[in-house]
Amino acid sequence: MTHAPVPTQTRRRVLPAGENGSLWEARPSCGIFEFRGMRLRLTVEDPAEVLFPTDCGLSLIAALNADLVPDLAGVNALDIGAGSGLYSVALLAAGAERVTALDINPASATQTAVNVMANGLDSTRLTCVTSPLEEYTPDERFDLVITNPPHLPYDPSYARKDGLETALVARRGGRAVYDSVVERVDTLLAPGGTLLMAHSSLADIPRTVTELTRGGFEAETLEVFEMDIPLLAYAEHKETMLTLLRERRAEGRAEFDGARFTVHALMFRRPGNATGS
């Protein structure tokens, strides 16, 4: 497959190596983050069931914070793989008219609703849906779709069968949810809509960019974040996972250097009918 070049980025943040590198002010069961001038709070009751947001997810928030694109006021948004509701909370706080928080994990709905209410946001503007993306058939299309898919390769030797695994690990070498987003984008996104994605360099960014640009989207890299590969939850199986990742890197389907990888905050829009900005 011929890959389109990954768009060049304007800024690159290098987060410190080791476990202290984080964009959070506080962690792990409660975090405070700033989004467009607001201080927002996220809690996770059981981090084995619902992922406590990592720097990978938070990077997209940080990129949107800096660039103020797109305008979020009044949008009808879909948060795919909502987890604890990080993006749903941020979008509602920034004035989204409605947010649908979709997750395969039933524990996500409760945690997202709790976090929306804890931030004093209007929970009547939130709809939580428990469903795999692959089976989700909304009766409307959205102005904005935002997602931070699982990005680590699955292997039966380290299967945990809990919410943390669902959040971090995916079939097809970690690409399963990225592939579903690409396949379903036209069903989900209204004409002129915007797709925002925190895309891991472990899961073949050029492939996603190529497929979406082939579908008529223009890709913009808002920011690139360099950080440690989040292997803490897989400490015992670190070598197995790194071996899988090295195989994928040898095939040109993953990029990382030692224990460091990058997360690209990507924005996709079709030229000529873009909204926001």
Ligand X SMILES: C[S@@+](CC[C@H](N)C(=O)[O-])C[C@H]1O[C@@H](n2cnc3c(N)ncnc32)[C@H](O)[C@@H]1O
Is residue 198 within 8 Å of 57, Cβ to Cβ?
yes
Cβ of residue 163: shortest distance to ligand X, in angstroms? Answer: 6
Residue 162 vs 218, nearer CB to ligand X: 162
Nearer to ligand X, 99 or 209 (CB): 99
Minimum distance of ligand X from residue 271's CB (angstroms): 27
Select 54 or 210, whichever has its Cβ closest to ligand X: 54
Cβ distance to ligand X smaller for residue 203 or 209: 203
Question: Using CA atoms, how far apart are residues 261 and 11, in angstroms rounded to an integer?
Answer: 16
Nearest CA to 12 out of 197, 222, 277 is that of 222
Of 106 and 191, nearer to ligand X (C-beta) is 106
Q: How far is the CB of 158 from ligand X (least distance, A)?
A: 16
CB of 248 to ligand X, least distance (A): 18
Least distance (Å) between residue 11 CB and ligand X: 20
Q: Give the nearest distance from C-beta 84 to ligand X in angstroms.
A: 6
Between 87 and 261, whose beta carbon lies closer to ligand X? 87
Contact positions vs ligand X (CB under 6 A): 51, 53, 57, 81-84, 86-87, 102-105, 108, 132-134, 148-150, 166-167, 177
Nearer Cβ to ligand X (200/210): 200
Listed as own residue / partner, the contacts of 236-242 with beta carbons closer than 8 Å and 24 or more positions apart are 236/158, 237/155, 237/157, 237/158, 240/155, 240/157, 240/158, 241/152, 241/153, 241/155, 241/158
Q: At closest approach, how far in Å is the CB of 149 from ligand X?
A: 6
